[in-house]
């Protein structure tokens, strides 16, 4: 049975996403070096909080130390034991969690807007008085070891880890997750010292977004975090080496049931004037369901469920990542097709005007949806701030996409997208 479809000329044109409204926001940098940005999005009476602290470390054990620190950071303070802390957070109706990557430590929280003062007090309590109780540390260490061992069995995790080692070698950017043995070896007394020297406000960014008045939110945050201090600014991760094109390495992983392909090539930072054109070219390659990779690998060949191409900034280095998983029997053919498409888009099959319009419409629409919610706005604003972009970049970027023509996208594809510019790994059984 087939599903009837209307001819294309009978389908109405999709309405373009309206331009995002100007962002109502305010910013302030405290004497401690903490930058605070607050933005209003009054869709529901909630507030979203994001705190980012540069948390680089070149020591091989730093990754394990940092992971155990964020696992125990919210497990009680000098003022509140763990039960009291969790009771206050639950009574507030809020959430608070901490994560860490090689570049930075991140705290994510949300709560009803009337509870913002208490939420900020809980945050300040963790930042200035985390207890690192021995029993809590050992309990969280055991949980972290279990999570690491589970992650190590996932082929997607193993493939990304192999790609980072392939591209960056021993650089800290390649150490996203510690081994179970490294976590087990972290001395408990290392955590308070790491907190004292690295979890500091200088160079950090706090974002608040929700049903709030930006100026009042800045005042509340400045008051709550007035006692958070540090002897030196937070330490940024050293910039990783540039990604260079080269052969795709085969990584054998006995027992996995699918092959995973991860490719990496150079991209452009968002501050670069050519970034909008390259962003659209990357979207056309594999940025959404109508992309070339999805058509050739899924619709035509049936090799994959999904394939993606997207830029990621790793320690200030813009990297273009291409990724898909497939049956090991088809991995070599799928990889060949992918590399061929990278050559074609910058060569004899450049982006068409229709592809550019479709990719631009998709990108503007997704951004409009993202910025319409408090969670989406907080995440996008945080991402912009930690990459040294002005908050207004969020609302200005859609207009830059709309102003980018086919000739610019073709030129960006020719300069930056080719099989020779990429390297990668093929993880297989």
Helix (H, G, I), strand (E, B) or coil at 425: strand
Residue 8 has pLDDT above 80, yes or no: no
Helix (H, G, I), strand (E, B) or coil at 322: strand
Structural contact between residues 298 and 312, judged by C-beta atoms closer than 8 angstroms:
no
**Contact partners, residue 110, CB within 8 Å, separation at least 6:** 46, 47, 48, 49, 94, 95, 374, 375
As given in the structure block, the two tokens for residue 142 are: 């055991």
Report which of residues 426 and 156 the model is more confident about: 426
Question: Backbone dihedral region of 196: left (phi > 0), alpha (psi from -120 to 50 degrees) or beta?
Answer: alpha
Q: Give 97-140 pLDDT, tens digit per residue.
A: 999 999 999 999 999 999 999 999 999 999 999 999 999 999 99
Average of per-residue pLDDT across 360-373: 93
Residue 5 has pLDDT above 60, yes or no: no
As given in the structure block, the two tokens for residue 198 are: 């690295």
As given in the structure block, the two tokens for residue 49 are: 């909080």
Q: Give 172-182 pLDDT, tens digit per residue.
A: 999 999 999 99
Q: What is the mean pLDDT of the chain?
A: 94
Q: Give 308-327 pLDDT, tens digit per residue.
A: 999 999 998 999 999 999 99
Q: Give 200-216 pLDDT, tens digit per residue.
A: 999 999 999 999 999 99
Angstrom distance (rounded) from CA 419 to CA 285: 12
* Beta-bridge mates of residue 324: 261, 307
pLDDT of residue 138: 97
Residue 287 has pLDDT above 70, yes or no: yes
Render 258-277 in DSSP notation, one character per residue: SEEEEEEEE---TTSTTHHH
Strands 205-210 and 35-40: parallel
Phi and psi angles of residue 235, each rounded to the nearest 5 degrees, phi first: -95, 120
| Cα–Cα separations (whole angstroms), residue 172 to 49, 316, 334 | 27, 13, 31
Strands 95-100 and 259-266: unpaired
Q: Cβ atoms within 10 A of the Cβ of 26, count?
A: 18
pTM of the predicted model as reported, rounded to 2 decimal places:
0.92
As given in the structure block, the two tokens for residue 287 are: 């940025």
Residue 291 has pLDDT above 80, yes or no: yes
pLDDT of residue 13: 55
Confidence of residue 256 (pLDDT cuts 50, 70, 90): confident
Q: Which domains does the chain have, with CATH numbers?
A: 25-225 (3.30.830.10), 248-427 (3.30.830.10)
Strands of the 317-326 sheet, one edge to the other: 248-252, 423-428, 259-266, 317-326, 307-314
Helix or strand (DSSP H, E) at 92:
helix 82-92
Phi and psi angles of residue 314, each rounded to the nearest 5 degrees, phi first: -115, 105
Angstrom distance (rounded) from CA 404 to CA 412: 11
Residue 15 has pLDDT above 90, yes or no: no
Structural contact between residues 194 and 73, judged by C-beta atoms closer than 8 angstroms:
no
- Per the document, the length of the chain is 429
Confidence of residue 1 (pLDDT cuts 50, 70, 90): very low
Helix (H, G, I), strand (E, B) or coil at 253: coil
Cα three-residue angle 70-150-169, rounded to 5 degrees: 70
pLDDT of residue 255: 85
Q: Classify residue 330 by its DSSP letter.
A: G
Angstrom distance (rounded) from CA 244 to CA 85: 48
Closest CA to 50 of 204, 176, 190, 250: 204
Q: Cβ atoms within 10 A of the Cβ of 148, count?
A: 20
């Amino acid at each position: 049975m087939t599903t009837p479809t209307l001819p294309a000329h009978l389908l109405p044109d999709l309405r373009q996403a309206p331009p995002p409204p100007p962002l109502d926001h305010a910013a302030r940098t405290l004497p401690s070096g903490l930058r605070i940005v607050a933005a209003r999005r009054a869709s529901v009476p909630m507030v979203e909080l994001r705190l980012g602290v540069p948390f680089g470390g070149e020591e091989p054990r730093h990754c394990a130390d940092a992971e155990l620190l964020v696992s125990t950071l919210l497990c009680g303070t000098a003022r509140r034991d763990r039960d009291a802390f969790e009771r206050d957070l639950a009574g507030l109706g809020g959430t608070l969690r901490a994560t860490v990557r090689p570049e930075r430590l991140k705290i994510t929280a949300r709560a009803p807007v009337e509870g913002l003062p208490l939420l900020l007090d809980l945050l300040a309590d963790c930042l200035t008085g985390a207890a690192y109780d021995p029993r809590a540390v050992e309990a969280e260490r055991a949980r972290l070891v279990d999570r690491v061992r589970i992650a190590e069995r996932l082929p997607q995790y193993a493939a990304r880890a192999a790609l980072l080692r392939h591209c960056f070698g021993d650089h800290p950017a390649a150490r996203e997750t510690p081994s179970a043995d490294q976590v087990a070896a972290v001395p408990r007394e290392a955590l308070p010292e790491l907190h004292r020297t690295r979890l500091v406000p200088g160079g950090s960014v706090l974002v608040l977004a929700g049903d709030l008045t930006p100026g009042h939110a800045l005042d509340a945050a400045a008051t709550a975090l007035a006692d958070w201090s540090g002897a030196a600014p937070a330490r940024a991760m050293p910039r990783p080496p540039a990604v260079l094109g080269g052969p795709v390495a085969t990584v054998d992983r006995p027992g996995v049931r699918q092959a995973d392909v991860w490719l990496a090539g150079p991209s452009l930072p968002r501050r670069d004037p050519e970034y909008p054109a390259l962003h659209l070219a990357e979207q056309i390659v594999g940025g959404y369901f109508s992309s070339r990779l999805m058509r050739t690998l899924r619709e035509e060949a049936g090799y994959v469920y999904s394939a993606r191409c997207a830029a990621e900034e790793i320690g200030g280095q813009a990297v273009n990542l291409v990724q898909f998983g497939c049956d090991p029997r088809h991995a070599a053919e799928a990889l060949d097709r992918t590399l061929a498409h990278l050559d074609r888009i910058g060569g004899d099959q450049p982006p068409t005007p229709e592809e550019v319009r479709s990719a631009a419409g998709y990108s503007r629409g997704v951004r409009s949806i993202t910025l319409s919610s408090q969670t989406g706005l907080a995440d996008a604003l945080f991402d912009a701030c930690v990459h040294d972009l002005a908050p207004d970049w969020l609302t200005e970027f859609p207009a830059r996409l709309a102003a980018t023509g086919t000739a610019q996208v073709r030129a960006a594809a020719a300069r930056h997208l080719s099989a020779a510019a990429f390297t990668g790994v093929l993880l297989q059984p």
